[in-house]
Amino acid sequence: MKEKNKDISEISPESSNEEEISVENNANTTEKKLDESLQLIEENKKLNDQLLRSRAELDNFQKRTIKQMQLAQLYSTEKLSSELLVIMDSLEAAEKLSRDPNMKIENFVEGNNLLLKTTKEVFEKLDIEEINPIDEDFDPDYHQAMTTKDSEKPENTILEVMQKGYRLKTKLLRPALVVVSKKSK
């Protein structure tokens, strides 16, 4: 026991102070780490909340976009449909007239001309442009060569249009079917 007491007596007041300071430093460090952990947890909660809100916003945006696309498609179809009704009315009227035994060929031709005029007006309203490239250079983006023909005209000039093409603004609906020139041998 003397040895134990001797050991205690050998401990100086300075080392006791150092131990107290060390314990205080450890307590301060632990408290700081705890504060930092709490701040990180709070920040994590905020970020998770932002993430959930962003996901919900993105979901809502996608749903709105799909709905807008469906409406746009419906309205574009509606415009086309209403314009086609005019043509349908003209065709039905022509059919009724064609049953008349006293109908003259001139009336039939006049009816066809009116129907063609009406159809061209509908195409104009819908921004459908006719491609009739007679005497133009062949363009594979808008023309489909059906055959070639010997000609005095420069090579790859369109000599004849077998079927007109059409485009909607910049989108090709149907290429023009054409006969293209080639050099005479």
Shared domain for 133 and 119, answered yes or no, is: no
- Give percent of the chain above pLDDT 70: 86
Distance (Å, rounded) from C-alpha 56 to C-alpha 174? 43
For the chain, how many structural domains are there in total? Answer: 2
Distance (Å, rounded) from C-alpha 155 to C-alpha 176? 18
Cβ neighbourhood burial of 91 (10 Å; 0-12, 13-18, 19+): middle
pTM of the model: 0.58
Rounded to a whole number of angstroms, the distance between the first and last alpha carbons of the chain is: 130
The answer as to whether 43 is a domain residue is yes
Among residues 81, 108, 126, the one where a domain terminates is 126
141-170 confidence digits (pLDDT tens): 999 999 999 999 999 999 999 999 999 988
Among residues 81, 102, 126, the one where a domain terminates is 126
Local confidence band at 2 (pLDDT 50, 70, 90 cut-offs): very low
Shared domain for 32 and 112, answered yes or no, is: yes
The pLDDT score that the predictor gives to residue 13 is 53
57-87 confidence digits (pLDDT tens): 999 999 999 999 998 888 877 888 888 888 8
Shared domain for 102 and 135, answered yes or no, is: no
Distance (Å, rounded) from C-alpha 95 to C-alpha 125? 25
Shared domain for 82 and 20, answered yes or no, is: yes
Greater confidence (111 vs 139) lies with 139
Among residues 126, 146, 162, the one where a domain terminates is 126
Q: Is 12 helix (H, G, I), strand (E, B) or coil?
A: coil
- Is the pLDDT at 18 greater than 90? The verdict is no
The pLDDT score that the predictor gives to residue 15 is 57
Shared domain for 118 and 147, answered yes or no, is: no
What residue numbers bound the domain in which 175 lies? 129-185
Distance (Å, rounded) from C-alpha 87 to C-alpha 77? 15
Q: In what order do the strands lie in the sheet with 165-168?
A: 128-131, 165-168, 171-174
